[in-house]
Amino acid sequence: MSSRLPPVLGEWIDRSQSLTIRFDGQRYAGHPGDVVSSALWAAGVRVLGRSFKYHRPRGILSLANHDVNTLMTDDAHINLRGDVSPLAEGMDLRAVNTAGGARADRRRLFDKLSAFMPVGFYYKAFHRPKALAHFWERFFRRMAGLGEINVDSPRLYTPKRYDFRDLLVIGAGPSGLAAGLCAAHSGASVLIVEENAQAGGSLGYARGGSDTNHERLEELLAQAKQLPHLEIRTGTCAVGYYADHWIALVEAQRMTTLRARAVIVSTGVMDQPAVFRNNDAPGVMFASAAQRLIYRYAVKPMHRAVVLTANSEGYEAALDLDRHGIGVGAVLDLRPEGESTDLAQRVTSANIRVLKGYGVSEAIARNDRLTGVRIFSVDGQARLPIPNSEVLSCDGLLMSVGFAPAAALLYQAGARMSYSEITHQFYPRELPKGVFAAGRVNGVFDLPYRLEDGKRAAQEAVRYLGFSTQPNPIVPPQRRWPTHPYPIFAHPDGKNFVDFDEDLQLKDFANAAQEGFDNIELMKRYSTVGMGPSQGKHSNMNAIRILANLRGETVDKVGTTTSRPFYHPVALAHLSGRGFHPVRRTPLHSLHAELGAAWMPAGNWQRPEYYARSDQDKNECVRGEVRAVRESLGLIDVGTLGKMDLYGPAAGEFLERVYAGRCANLKVGMTRYGVMLDESGVIIDDGVMARLSDQHFYFTTTTTGSATVYRELTRWNTLWRMDCGIVNLTGAFSAMNLAGPKARDLLAKLTDLDLSHASFPYLGVREAQVADVPCRLLRVGFVGELGYEIHTPAEHAHHLWTALMAAGNALGIRPFGVEAQRLLRLEKGHIIIGQDTDGLTTPLEARMEWAIKMDKPFFVGQRSLRIVAPRQRKQVLVGFTLDKSHSGAVPKECHLIIRGNDIAGRVTSIAFSETLGCHIGLAFIIPELAEEGTAFAIRADAGKMVSAVVAKAPFYDPSAQRQRDY
Amino acid sequence: MKIMLCPINGPRPVSEFVCAGEVREMPHPPTCSDAQWSDYVFNRSGVPGIKKEWWYHASSGVWFIAERDTTADRLLRTYLLGEESK
């Protein structure tokens, strides 16, 4: 039998179409616009899910995005919430956490065993015997938890985007709409987000038996359409507030992070349950849930109702039921004095019985359905159960006994909330800058006042934003407090639930407090109250009240737990996705790829480690590249080096201060190696500086250091105000190193520059056309052969590389990668900053005294070196070799040098040099072992000890004839 | 994500910035004692309160000074070096 009502004004469903779904194997029909819960309820289904712990039957509670006992899965999605998941054709749903479906759940037996599962039972039992601990763990893991992850579920695309607004209004209820309209009139760009499928909030469903509110809503929405600056985004949930008005907005398939300049929180309130025996029976629901069923989905919530209330909202709901032909057996008003507004008269006129000072002691259910409620007079001191108390027969009970503000986002924003002993509610006492609260979340309950409060908040916000200079309006305080101070009724037979997520009963709180967990944060963690999927939306307020009652303290004193993002459950898919990890490619990237480059990361850069050849393994390729450089010609892309131009009268003096060596006396047309230190005297960078003119220097930094070096140099010059400027050309320039005995022969084919040793000596720098493009040529010797580092604007790089390779073909040129370069420089004993040095290495330890000039008046790090220079070094960097006949384990970088039982150093670089026929390396070692020719032992993998001998670096061409003299 | 105020470019997401630590006066290297120098190089105050720091807007290359109240997590003001009084 369908419980669908005849068409209801403003209903969300589209009756012209029908949808079919399956739930626990049964087929049901609904309409577009339905949510899963409304369609099932319309079909007469009352058990939508089972509770977490005792597997009790559960139905609709709030229908407001808070129902956590109606979790379902279609295998692609886990834990779909029935009260918010839109109905879609062909859905095949199962209730989660059941054995055999919601209705027939075989684990419902657990309800009978609840006496053996008191609060915190799993902390105390099942530890012994120890042998069984794992058995129990597996058992509990199977029993606990809700939906199960299906690893084969289809991939969902959940794009992310950014958005910006002057003002974000969260919640499109009456106060939010009023606020958005008012603010948009001022010219501010306004976004109103609404978690439901349609805007309106309580204006749409809390109608009190008349259509006035619906008409008012239509009017507000029509006005909103007229305002170009105002957007209302429905189906969008603001789930988290982060610093400086940075808000996560989650839609079905997308997450938007929005930066607003100001935020109005008009999130309203959440109905809070009364606590009595069997208050979880299907059919017991919030008054607002029944109203939502009627006005959104045209579903009859029940056939005969009883209303348990303590406020006007309950009376309004009774009138709404009555208007749609649902019999109301009685309105039970917890307040002895009853309702003071004219609603009381209207309810009585509708022939509805009103019992003042009455409550429900117990809900009675048969076959998982509510059949009646036992009522009692709350006025007296009588203890439950009261014999022979009256039972009202009904299949639905509406609860409207009080509200808690939906203030999670306010808490996250840093608002201070206070509890009022007059209104029995938390309200925002102090709001952070740019955050405003409006409507019921702000403690304003009567509709005209809520609309006014929305406008008030909007006026304050636009004033804050600078769109208006009007003084902030003063709104008269309203005087109605709809929240009952303690709607909690103990019953000796229990099953009076405080937390529906975690199946916590009233007695569990008393037990937790008795065991010493009587602080709100401790109680939360011990009892798990508020830790279920709804994060305490229906339980925290009552839990605080119960604890305050147990301790005899005020609610304000007990306080609340911390509210953290996310406010609603957010699927991990919304958070995951591609990260933004920038990768830098040199202008020659595509050419390297064509040449078969095997890539390796160097800082943010991608560099060729070596160029793969189909018939050779990695070692053979690298050896071939090394041989080409030593015997004929090699070309390497060094465009990842930091490249800086420094220009100005004080350029030389500036370099003098930031490099440890001498710079100002560098001749025009020459280059010099330099090391850069930090203020503690540690080597942070090295490179080559070239003087292009009296006032113009061009210098390189390490690949990984370019950004930080540039940054630090500009900071120094911000402080020193020297007459020079630095330009970072790292991305604008390409660079390649042409090295090998035939480098000059090749270059001569492509340039008119006089390359003779006399006119372009070692360490010279020249500007010239090479292959018809402008270049800066630095004659350097990093790899120990005749070599030219050719720098050219990035747009010419492709052309230059291609021209060099083409012209070098006949000379046996080979491109070489980082791996070959590492070996080549190691043969020369050149260090790599960051590999052969660490965060504590001074040039004294690296034995680079030659690169520092202590007699300069100042350089960064000099003062610290003065302090450490006279001291005994803890370690020094030395070269070493393994025996030519060495076989077996080869030490690796970072392997330790051992003397006796002590660590005496570590290997920083090691490689096999074909040129020298043995392994060579660099190592930090204690000064006692640093003498040339000293033998020492390295502990290699698996503890194998390998003997090595300190050797003089450079290992190859120590007099540097090959790079220097011809 | 927080907002930092660049004196040249206005409010920008903090991810565009680099904080380079407290502003500290360098003691005169030739005349200061080793202890004074070491204190300058190595010691930083971690006490929460009002901090005066170097900040760098990496996207545009602007160095500036920011004064922050780290107790209240509030930015007090930002300015270019030497333009404190403007």
**pLDDT tens by residue, A389-448:** 899 999 999 999 999 999 999 999 999 999 998 889 999 999 999 999 999 999 999 999
Max CA distance (Å), chain B: 44
What percent of chain A clears pLDDT 90, i.e. is strictly above it?
82
Q: Chain B interface, mutation test: which of A162, A163, A244, most B Cβ atoms within 10 Å?
A: A244
List pLDDT tens digits, range A597-629: 999 999 899 999 999 999 999 999 999 999 999
A576 vs A716, more confident = A716
Q: What is the mean pLDDT of residues A718-722?
A: 96
Please indicate whether, in this complex, the C-beta atoms of A714 and B63 are within 8 angstroms of each other: yes
* Helical ranges in A390-539 per DSSP H: 408-413, 447-465, 506-514, 520-527
- Please tell me if residue B72 touches chain A, with a CB cutoff of 8 Å: no
Q: Which of A272, A652, A221 is CA-nearest to residue A486?
A: A272
List pLDDT tens digits, range A798-824: 999 999 999 999 999 999 999 999 999
List pLDDT tens digits, range A189-241: 999 999 999 999 999 999 999 999 999 999 999 999 999 999 999 999 999 99
Q: How confident is the model at residue A912 (pLDDT cuts 50, 70, 90)?
A: very high
Chain B residues 26-45 with CB within 8 Å of chain A: 29, 32, 34, 37-38, 40-42
Whether the per-residue pLDDT at A559 is higher than 60: the answer is: yes
| Alpha-carbon gap: A837 to the closest alpha carbon of chain B (Å) | 20
DSSP string, A92-139: EEEESS-SS-TTT-GGGGGGGGGGG--TTHHHHSS--SGGGHHHHHHH
| Alpha-carbon gap: B47 to the closest alpha carbon of chain A (Å) | 22
Q: Which residues of A touch B37 (CB under 8 A)?
A: 863-864, 867
The Cα A854–Cα A843 span in angstroms is 12
Q: How confident is the model at residue A78 (pLDDT cuts 50, 70, 90)?
A: confident
Out of B37, B56, B81, the one facing A864 most closely (by C-beta) is B37
pTM of the model: 0.85
Q: How confident is the model at residue A784 (pLDDT cuts 50, 70, 90)?
A: very high
Please indicate whether, in this complex, the C-beta atoms of A242 and B20 are within 8 angstroms of each other: no
| Alpha-carbon gap: B3 to the closest alpha carbon of chain A (Å) | 6
Whether the per-residue pLDDT at A119 is higher than 90: the answer is: no
List pLDDT tens digits, range A754-765: 999 999 999 999
Lowest mean pLDDT segment, chosen from A334-338, A357-361, A557-561, A950-954: A557-561
How many beta-carbon pairs below 8 A join chains A and B?
Answer: 40
Whether the per-residue pLDDT at A685 is higher than 60: the answer is: yes
- Please tell me if residue B10 touches chain A, with a CB cutoff of 8 Å: no
Whether the per-residue pLDDT at B86 is higher than 70: the answer is: no
Nearest chain A residue (CA) to B28: A863
Nearest chain A residue (CA) to B80: A718
Chain mean pLDDT for chain A:
93
Q: Please, are residues A816 and A857 in contact by the beta-carbon 8 Å criterion?
A: no
Please indicate whether, in this complex, the C-beta atoms of A864 and B41 are within 8 angstroms of each other: yes
Q: Chain A interface, mutation test: which of B5, B25, B41, B44, most A Cβ atoms within 10 Å?
A: B41
Please indicate whether, in this complex, the C-beta atoms of B3 and A244 are within 8 angstroms of each other: yes
The Cα A949–Cα A885 span in angstroms is 13
> According to the model, what pLDDT value does residue A380 have?
65
Q: Which residues of B touch A862 (CB under 8 A)?
A: 29
Please indicate whether, in this complex, the C-beta atoms of B56 and A711 are within 8 angstroms of each other: yes
Q: How confident is the model at residue A581 (pLDDT cuts 50, 70, 90)?
A: confident
Q: What is the mean pLDDT of residues A557-581?
A: 85
Whether the per-residue pLDDT at B42 is higher than 90: the answer is: yes
User: b/e for A353-363, b at 16 or more Cβ within 10 A?
Assistant: ebbbbbbbbbb
The Cα A406–Cα A442 span in angstroms is 10
- Please tell me if residue B79 touches chain A, with a CB cutoff of 8 Å: no
> According to the model, what pLDDT value does residue A572 have?
86
> According to the model, what pLDDT value does residue A935 have?
97
| Alpha-carbon gap: B7 to the closest alpha carbon of chain A (Å) | 14
List pLDDT tens digits, range A126-160: 777 778 778 877 877 777 777 788 888 888 788 99
> According to the model, what pLDDT value does residue A147 have?
79
> According to the model, what pLDDT value does residue A110 have?
80
| Alpha-carbon gap: A64 to the closest alpha carbon of chain B (Å) | 30
> According to the model, what pLDDT value does residue B1 have?
67
Residue A834's SS3 state is coil
Q: How far is CA A466 from CA A470, A642, A858, B5, in A?
A: 10, 45, 51, 18
Out of A243, A711, A728, the one facing B2 most closely (by C-beta) is A243
The Cα A539–Cα A506 span in angstroms is 11
ipTM given for this complex: 0.97
Q: Find the helix or strand (DSSP H, E) in which B62 lies.
A: strand B62-69
Please indicate whether, in this complex, the C-beta atoms of B63 and A246 are within 8 angstroms of each other: no
Q: Chain A interface, mutation test: which of B53, B63, B68, most A Cβ atoms within 10 Å?
A: B63
Out of A244, A707, A715, the one facing B63 most closely (by C-beta) is A715
| Alpha-carbon gap: B86 to the closest alpha carbon of chain A (Å) | 17
Q: Which residues of A touch B70 (CB under 8 A)?
A: none
The Cα A361–Cα A308 span in angstroms is 11
Please indicate whether, in this complex, the C-beta atoms of B29 and A718 are within 8 angstroms of each other: no
| Alpha-carbon gap: A584 to the closest alpha carbon of chain B (Å) | 16
Whether the per-residue pLDDT at A185 is higher than 90: the answer is: yes
Out of B3, B58, B63, the one facing A718 most closely (by C-beta) is B63
Lowest mean pLDDT segment, chosen from A4-13, A564-573, A901-910: A564-573
> According to the model, what pLDDT value does residue A837 have?
96
> According to the model, what pLDDT value does residue A607 have?
97
Please indicate whether, in this complex, the C-beta atoms of B54 and A243 are within 8 angstroms of each other: no
Q: What is the mean pLDDT of residues B38-67?
A: 95
Q: How confident is the model at residue A474 (pLDDT cuts 50, 70, 90)?
A: confident
Nearest chain B residue (CA) to A678: B41
Whether the per-residue pLDDT at A1 is higher than 60: the answer is: no
| Alpha-carbon gap: A243 to the closest alpha carbon of chain B (Å) | 5
Amino acid at A512: A
Nearest chain B residue (CA) to A717: B63
List pLDDT tens digits, range A346-366: 999 999 999 999 999 999 999
- Please tell me if residue B9 touches chain A, with a CB cutoff of 8 Å: no
Q: Which residues of B touch A680 (CB under 8 A)?
A: 41-42
Chain position carrying tokens 């577009």? A32
Out of A242, A679, A867, the one facing B34 most closely (by C-beta) is A867
Q: Which residues of A touch B42 (CB under 8 A)?
A: 680
Q: Which residues of A touch B61 (CB under 8 A)?
A: 711, 714, 728
> According to the model, what pLDDT value does residue A381 have?
66
In this structure, what are the phi and psi dihedrals at residue A319, rounded to the nearest 5 degrees? -65, -35
Hey, how many other C-beta atoms are within 10 angstroms of the C-beta on A163? Answer: 15
Please indicate whether, in this complex, the C-beta atoms of A679 and B41 are within 8 angstroms of each other: yes
A470 vs A872, more confident = A872
List pLDDT tens digits, range A49-59: 999 889 999 99
> According to the model, what pLDDT value does residue A470 have?
83
Max CA distance (Å), chain A: 119
Please indicate whether, in this complex, the C-beta atoms of A244 and B2 are within 8 angstroms of each other: yes
Give me the residues paired with residue A898 across strands: A903, A937
Q: How confident is the model at residue A8 (pLDDT cuts 50, 70, 90)?
A: very high
Per-residue three-class SS string for A792-832: EEHHHHHHHHHHHHHHHHHHCEEECCHHHHHHHHHHCCCCC
> According to the model, what pLDDT value does residue B25 have?
92
Q: Please, are residues A333 and A355 in contact by the beta-carbon 8 Å criterion?
A: yes
> According to the model, what pLDDT value does residue A114 have?
76
Q: Chain A interface, mutation test: which of B8, B15, B24, B37, most A Cβ atoms within 10 Å?
A: B37
Q: Which residues of A touch B40 (CB under 8 A)?
A: 679
- Please tell me if residue B71 touches chain A, with a CB cutoff of 8 Å: no
Q: How far is CA A96 from CA A84, A661, A726, A823, in A?
A: 16, 72, 64, 61
